[in-house]
Amino acid sequence: MNPTSAPSAQRPAFVAFVPACKAHDMSKTTGYALVKRGLLNVIRIGRRTYIDPDEFRSLPDRLAKEAE
């Protein structure tokens, strides 16, 4: 079997920001506010914004740390 034809079990390294926010029940405005506060790290390529899915997993810890 050709390795390039095998289905990938890995998740993507980066996903589009707005759909990722919606998938986590967050508006894009709230998402961008968290980016501005430094609680979510994104990368921008041209006009598009991407985020590592792990950013959402660690967000509750960062919010708790900020509240202290």
Residue 19 lies in a domain: yes
Model confidence band, residue 3 (pLDDT cutoffs 50, 70, 90): low
Write out the residue range of the structural domain in which residue 55 sits: 15-67
HEC string of the chain? CCCCCCCCCCCCCCEEHHHHHHHCCCCHHHHHHHHHCCCCCEEEECCEEEECCHHHHHHHHHHHHHHC
Residue 52 burial (CB < 10 Å; 0-12/13-18/19+)? middle
Share of the chain above pLDDT 70, in %: 87
- Asked if residue 51 is part of any domain, the answer here is yes
Tell me: pLDDT of 5 over 60. no
Is 8 a domain residue?
Answer: no
| Residue 51 or residue 3, greater confidence | 51
Identify whether 5 is part of a domain: no
Q: Does residue 7 fall inside a structural domain?
A: no
Q: Give pLDDT tens digits for 24-57.
A: 999 999 999 999 999 999 999 999 999 999 999 9
Total tally of structural domains belonging to the chain: 1
pTM of the entire predicted model: 0.77
**Residue at 40 is within a domain:** yes
